[in-house]
């Protein structure tokens, strides 16, 4: 009996543990496995790894084996009635080898393939950062919606109490019907806002479900009175400089420019000769009927071939002009990526700094609004305040708390976007944010 009780307690403990709220890191690990967009990026990276193998193939020897069987039938009739029939069968097999000795186009293709592998790695790293941001944004959107709904529900309870108080005061003759109507109007408005908040929460949960492929359940909340750290380094120019050099979009554009520059050399190689070494060996046999000779031959050859392009219908010159224009496009794309990364760093840095300032202001405003509400309620009880004053004070406190929560979530997201703009967002940064949540 005692053992069964202990087993029951242990099972209950495990159930309680599994039923706990999911935190940001747990949701992120779910997304790593289940997010279709990230899985697509992972597959693209695996495909990109093969480009260097394909590019190197143009520099390596090609070996081929070919064979065949040939049967022939012929009839010869020099005189009428003296027809001669010949049937023969021949078999052949050839082993050939071809090795490029000089082909600048194939070499540039190989160099481009190595750059393509780097580009695929950068694109995957960018997709990984994007997943972190998408998961974090969806996570805090749910928390913000839950917080807004919770605040509305608390305000609804307070307004309901104020409505009941107004009705009682009207019944005893200490208040007018106006107070009751004002409270009823406020109660109906909050009820409508509550329904809208419930719908918004479902939408936010659906967005998170789309990423992880299932319902997230309860989520860990931010700790009460959590303090957010300022960005390090503290100067925006340091972040901008990092973004212009280390941002994954900038790095990928830099690689694209190098590929475009290689493409110019590759196009110009169409004017140059190519040199190839070729060798072959084989065996052929033939058997005949009607006293025709038969035997075995073993041909072997080795040589060097030179191919000199003379005129290709202006195609080579056209490809050179095209590749030069595309190189100019890649250069401008790189500059666009740098400016975009710098702007993203500045914007995110401003979001963090202004967000931290707003948090301090809203924290002070929350204390003031709470004090104002307490004073207004006391004034209402002694008859120096009216019902609408209490309702307005409650609304002000509710709005302040919602704004404070939103400022915290926005500051956290701005901090993550700032690191992503600088190319330094990692899972360890999510772990730091995760430490701010209730476990």
Each residue's pLDDT tens digit, 111-149: 999 999 999 999 999 999 999 999 999 999 999 999 989
Q: What is the 3-state secondary structure (H, E, C) of 46-90?
A: HHHCCHHHHHHHCCCCEEEEEEEEEEEEEEECCCCCCCEEEEEEE
pLDDT at position 82 is 62
Residue 289 has pLDDT above 60, yes or no: no
Which three-class secondary structure state does DSSP give residue 33? helix
Confidence of residue 88 (pLDDT cuts 50, 70, 90): confident
Question: For 204-227, what is the mean pLDDT?
Answer: 91
User: Do the Cβ atoms of 89 and 71 come closer than 8 Å?
Assistant: yes
Q: How many residues are present in the chain?
A: 439
Confidence of residue 225 (pLDDT cuts 50, 70, 90): confident
Q: Kindly report the number of other CB atoms within 10 A of residue 336's CB atom.
A: 13
pLDDT at position 219 is 93
What percent of the chain clears pLDDT 90, i.e. is strictly above it? 63
Spatial distance between the Cα atoms of 185 and 192, rounded to a whole number of angstroms? 11
pLDDT at position 84 is 66
Residue 184 has pLDDT above 60, yes or no: yes
Q: Where are the alpha helices (DSSP H) in 173-235?
A: 177-212
Q: Kindly report the number of other CB atoms within 10 A of residue 242's CB atom.
A: 20
Q: CA–CA distance from 261 to each of 50, 233, 414 (Å)?
A: 22, 36, 37
pLDDT at position 439 is 67
Residue 316 has pLDDT above 80, yes or no: yes
Residue 8 has pLDDT above 60, yes or no: no
Q: What is the pTM of this model?
A: 0.83
pLDDT at position 294 is 62
Question: For 101-120, what is the mean pLDDT?
Answer: 94
Residue from 243, 156, 150, 146 nearest 202 by CA: 146
Question: For 183-200, what is the mean pLDDT?
Answer: 89
Buried b (16+ CB within 10 A) or exposed e, 273-304: ebebeebbebebebeeeeeeeeeeeeeeeeee
pLDDT at position 9 is 38
Cis peptide upstream of residue 233 (ω within 30 degrees of 0): yes
Q: What is the pLDDT of residues 28-87, one digit of tens each?
A: 999 999 999 999 999 999 999 999 999 999 999 999 999 888 888 776 666 655 666 677
pLDDT at position 287 is 60
Structure tokens at 125: 């790293």
pLDDT at position 235 is 92
Structure tokens at 215: 């319902």
Spatial distance between the Cα atoms of 335 and 269, rounded to a whole number of angstroms? 28
Question: For 422-439, what is the mean pLDDT?
Answer: 92
What percent of the chain clears pLDDT 70, i.e. is strictly above it? 90
* 21-59+103-272+320-434: CATH topology: Outer membrane efflux proteins (OEP) (1.20.1600)
Residue from 420, 349, 350 nearest 137 by CA: 420
> Whole-number mean pLDDT of the chain?
87
Q: What is the pLDDT of residues 359-397, one digit of tens each?
A: 999 999 999 999 998 998 888 788 777 777 877 888 888
Tokens 């290689």 identify what position? 262
Q: Which backbone phi and psi does 83 adopt, to 5 degrees?
A: -80, 135
Residue from 62, 68, 70, 64 nearest 93 by CA: 68
Question: For 191-209, what is the mean pLDDT?
Answer: 93
To 5 degrees, how large is the angle CA 402–CA 404–CA 409?
A: 95
Residue 18 has pLDDT above 70, yes or no: no
């Amino acid at each position: 009996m005692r053992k069964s009780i202990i087993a029951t307690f242990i099972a209950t403990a495990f159930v309680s543990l599994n039923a706990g709220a999911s935190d940001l890191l747990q949701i992120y690990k779910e997304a790593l496995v289940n997010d279709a967009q990230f899985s697509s990026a992972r597959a693209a990276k695996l495909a990109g790894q093969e480009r260097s193998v394909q590019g190197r193939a143009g520099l390596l020897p090609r070996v081929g084996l070919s064979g065949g069987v040939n049967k022939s039938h012929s009839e010869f009739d020099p005189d009428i009635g003296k027809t001669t029939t010949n049937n023969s069968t021949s078999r052949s097999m050839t082993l050939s080898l071809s090795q490029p000795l000089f082909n600048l186009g194939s070499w540039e293709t190989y160099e481009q393939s190595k750059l393509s592998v780097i580009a695929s790695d950068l694109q995957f790293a960018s997709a990984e950062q994007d997943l972190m941001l998408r998961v974090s944004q969806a996570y805090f959107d749910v928390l913000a919606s839950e917080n807004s709904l919770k605040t509305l529900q608390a305000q609804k309870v307070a307004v309901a109490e104020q409505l009941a108080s107004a009705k009682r005061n009207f019944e005893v003759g200490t208040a007018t019907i106006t107070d009751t109507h004002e409270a009823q109007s406020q109660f109906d408005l909050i009820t409508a806002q509550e329904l809208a908040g419930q719908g918004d929460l479902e939408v936010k949960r659906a967005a998170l479900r789309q990423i992880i492929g299932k319902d997230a359940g309860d989520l860990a909340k931010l700790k009460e009175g959590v303090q957010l750290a300022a960005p390090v380094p503290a100067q925006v120019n340091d972040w901008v400089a990092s973004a212009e050099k280390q941002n994954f979009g900038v790095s990928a554009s830099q690689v694209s420019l190098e590929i475009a520059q290689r493409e110019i050399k590759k196009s110009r190689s169409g004017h140059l000769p190519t040199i190839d070494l070729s060798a072959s060996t084989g065996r052929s046999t033939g058997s005949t009927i009607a006293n025709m000779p038969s035997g075995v031959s073993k041909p072997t050859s080795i040589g060097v071939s030179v191919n000199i392009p003379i005129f290709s219908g202006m195609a080579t010159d056209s490809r050179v002009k095209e590749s030069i224009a595309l190189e100019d496009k890649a250069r401008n794309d790189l500059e666009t990526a740098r400016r975009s990364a710098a702007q993203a760093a500045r914007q995110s840095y401003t979001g963090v700094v202004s967000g931290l300032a707003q948090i301090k202001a809203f924290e002070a405003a929350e204390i003031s609004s709470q004090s104002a509400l307490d004073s207004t309620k006391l004034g209402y009880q002694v008859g120096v305040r009216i019902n609408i004053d209490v309702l307005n004070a409650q609304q002000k406190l509710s709005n302040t708390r919602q704004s404070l929560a939103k400022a915290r979530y926005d500051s956290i997201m701005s901090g993550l976007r700032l690191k992503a703009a600088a190319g330094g967002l990692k899972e360890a940064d999510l772990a730091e944010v995760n430490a701010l949540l209730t476990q």
